[in-house]
Structure 1
Amino acid sequence: MTPLAEIIAQRIRATGPITLADYMELCLLHPRYGYYATRDPFGQAGDFTTAPEISQIFGELCGLALAQTWMDQGRPAPFTLAEPGPGRGTLMADMLRAMRAVPGMFKAADVTLIEASPHLRGVQSENLGDVRHLDGIEELPDKPLFMMANEFFDALPVRQFQRVEEGWAERVVGLDKDGLRMGLAPPVDLPRAGRIGDIVEDCSAAVAIIEAIAGRIAARGGAAIIVDYGGWNGYGDTFQALRAHAPEDPLAHPGEADLTAHVDFAPLAAAAIRAGAEVSRPLHQGDWLLSLGAEARARRLADAGDAGAMDALRRLTRPDEMGHLFKAMAIWPKGALPVPGFDALRHHADDA
């Protein structure tokens, strides 16, 4: 057992099986043995590679989309430029470089990173310099908010429920003679249809965060772009672990593997609407990036000597690479122009 596995086992022996959400939170954020507290997980030397680590194209286009939105909303100053779960700070660095070309924007931006890991905070400060760090969304200052969230929501803890004859039974983490194992709690009623064996996932943390973000944008202006892998009103077990760029049993090495679940964009969109903001339907990441000029940017980089630019474009946009697995969704105030590349969800009856 890993040290964290033994801590989890002791807790289960003392108080009984724990929810999948509690297990994820312990594995990712335990102050001593949690995954994000102990390592830099990004890139070839880590466990996974994100879009900003593949190419500057991703961050530059995200930055320019927010910059156009900032101009469309009358260039508010000062404003908060925020990123939750910013990794090494690569995405923010690329966005800021693009924003420097927009008169007045860079000086008006209060760069703010929402990061729980002390280790990653140090890496971000080394790469970005003097930036504000916050523990949570609720600490954001009361001013216009422009936010980019890439692969943030997939790491938030989820609960899982499996349909049985008597209703929906929560999947929990317990113990047997071989160590940690999945089991089922007593059935409960859920307002969700399903067949025997179906699994649904619930991420109440994501819904609460979106309500807070969208409420601030509705009241003070700004926009948020969310990019993550997932779908719309999905069913199935999407809980997964990645270690050294390969999938493994999520219970095998607690604290030593990245744990994620696919994002269900439907409840997030509903939360944004409840908060009084406009929200888009989710788009394929590849389609959104291409609509912003990703191919032209890649060709310019290639002409300037970047030998990997066209391969990076393929990885970011092709349907069989990241292009369709990852989705992009935007939030902006009612009555304002949409974020570039997006249309309002209410304009698409088939998505309602």
Structure 2
Amino acid sequence: MVAPAKSGVSAAPLLDILRRRIAAEGPITVAAYMADCLLHPEHGYYRSQEAIGLHGDFITAPEISQMFGELLGLWAADYWQSLGCPDRCYLVELGPGRGTLMRDALRAARALPQFRAALTPVMIEASTRLRGLQEAALAHEGAIWCEQIAAIPKDAPLLLLANEFLDALPVRQFQRGDDGAWHERCVGLDEATNDLCFLLDPRALPFDDLLPQILRDSPPGSIVESSPPVRAVAVEIAARLKQQGGAALFIDYGYASAGAGETLQAVWRHTYADPLQNPGLADLTAHVDFGSFALAAKRAGAAVHGPVGQGVFLERLGIAARAAKLKQSNTTQAGDLDQALRRLTAPEAMGTLFKALALTPPESPKPAGFA
């Protein structure tokens, strides 16, 4: 990855904080570094930066086209009907960004007035700045905000949406040393330059029990990633679904089963950057290991559906028909709609790398898109 040259940008304030911490306490894990970069109370990326949109660092599927959020809203409506159309239901979004997805999902929900009347939108958001954007997008929608999944009410079924949420959760990295043992990869300081650098914890560590054992014999130098927070989300949501019923849909970029290789990446102004440069100013993410996520959810008692590619998933939900209908009523935007459709579904764009996975209680109806 190449760090972009940006003139006139001051050094990241978080960099000096990390240097002092490492100098005083020693190297920190990649997971701790990622958590500080994203969530530091004052200088974390999600606390201080404009992340999403043309003026941010990246564009998510809901920002590409209204079709994405609308189809997810109809996906939730379909599952609500399979539950017998309960009078009350929570439509929850994890990591709701600027509120675009929920806004579009609720617009689609109004096509089924009984469904919309049953819904209470719930936004799980810890950033005060982002919550302000969401409140503007969802004015008069009756939404409520919580900072943690644990605060979601438990007295009605749960329909949960999470788009590009898991990829921002911290990952640990392990590297097989020349001694044949696995060591945690950490972030330390280069003695010559005082720059941040990767290094290995000299202590040997046991191999992660949720990673495929075939990776244990990877050659020296191999890196594998593990995300306890991602698995914790799987366990927590599985428990909620068993308790109150419903379904949860996760859409993110990643792989169906774990493999060796580093996926930690930084994006700054739509350009890939060195993840150790400008901490707190660039977005840090890692590919989601859907295999480990699914295994954790199954062990917690959930039924797992997928993963399937985002392109296949959206096509099964009827995105082509939705695009055709929009083009009929917006003929001047036909080209933009065609471009958005390709970006969301084409294998060379988001259609394959991005995947959809759903969780439900055991022996519950299969959600739409996973036939």
Tell me the TM-score range normalised by the shorter chain.
over 0.9
Q: Which amino acid is the alignment partner of residue 349 of structure 2?
A: E
Residue from 154, 169, 176 that aligns with 2:167: 154
Which secondary structure state, in structure 2, belongs to the residue aligned with residue 270 of structure 1? helix
TM-score by length of 1: 0.95
Encode CA deviations 1:246-275: one digit per residue, 9 max, x unaligned: 001001110100000000001111122122
Determine if contact 2:123/2:146 at 8 Å carries over to the other structure.
yes
Q: Check whether the contact 2:62–2:101 (CA below 8 A) recurs between aligned residues.
A: yes
Question: In the alignment, is residue 34 of structure 1 matched against residue 51 of structure 2?
Answer: no
Residue 211 of structure 2 is aligned to residue 195 of structure 1: no
Residue of structure 1 aligned with 2:327, choices 287, 297, 302? 302
Superposed counterparts of 1:177-326, under 5 Å: 177-178=192-193, 179-186=195-202, 187-190=204-207, 191=209, 192=213, 193=216, 194-231=218-255, 232-305=257-330, 306-307=333-334, 308-326=336-354
Query: Is the CA contact (8 Å cut-off) linking 2:22 and 2:188 kept in structure 1?
Result: yes
Moved more, 26-35 or 100-109: 100-109
Superposed counterparts of 1:80-159, under 5 Å = 80-129=90-139, 130-142=142-154, 143-159=156-172
Deviation string 1:209-234 (CA, Å, 9 cap, x unpaired) is: 11111111122111011000000223
Count of residues in Structure 1 that have an aligned counterpart in Structure 2: 343
Q: Percent of pairs identical after alignment?
A: 49
| Structure 2 residue matching 1:322: 3-state secondary structure | helix
Deviates more, 1:302-311 or 1:321-330: 302-311
How far off is 1:113 after superposition? 0.7
In the TM superposition, residue 189 of structure 1 has moved relative to its aligned partner by 2.2
Give the drift of 1:285.
0.2
Counterpart in the other structure of 1:346: none
Q: Is the 8 A contact 1:299 1:310 kept in 2?
A: no
For residues 109 and 57 of structure 1, what CA distance do their matches in structure 2 show?
20
1:255, 1:227 → 2: CA distance? 25
Q: TM-score, normalised by structure 2?
A: 0.90
Displaced runs of 4 or more, over 3 A? none
Q: Which residue pairs with 1:78 in the alignment?
A: 88
CA distance in 2, matches of 1:333, 1:100: 27
Quote the offset at 1:100 in angstroms: 1.0
CA distance in structure 1 between the partners assigned to 2:184 and 2:239 by the alignment: 31
Q: Which amino acid aligns with 1:271?
A: A
Once residues 173 and 70 of structure 1 are traced to their aligned partners in structure 2, the CA distance between those partners, rounded to angstroms, is 46
Contact 1:147–1:224 (Cα < 8 Å) also in 2: yes
Question: Given that residues 57 and 283 in structure 2 are in contact (C-alpha distance below 8 angstroms), is that contact kept between their aligned partners in structure 1?
Answer: yes
1:170 to 184, 188, 207: 184
**Structure 1, unaligned runs of 5 or more:** 344-352
1:292 to partner: Cα distance: 1.1
* 1:39 and 1:119 in contact (8 A); partners too: no
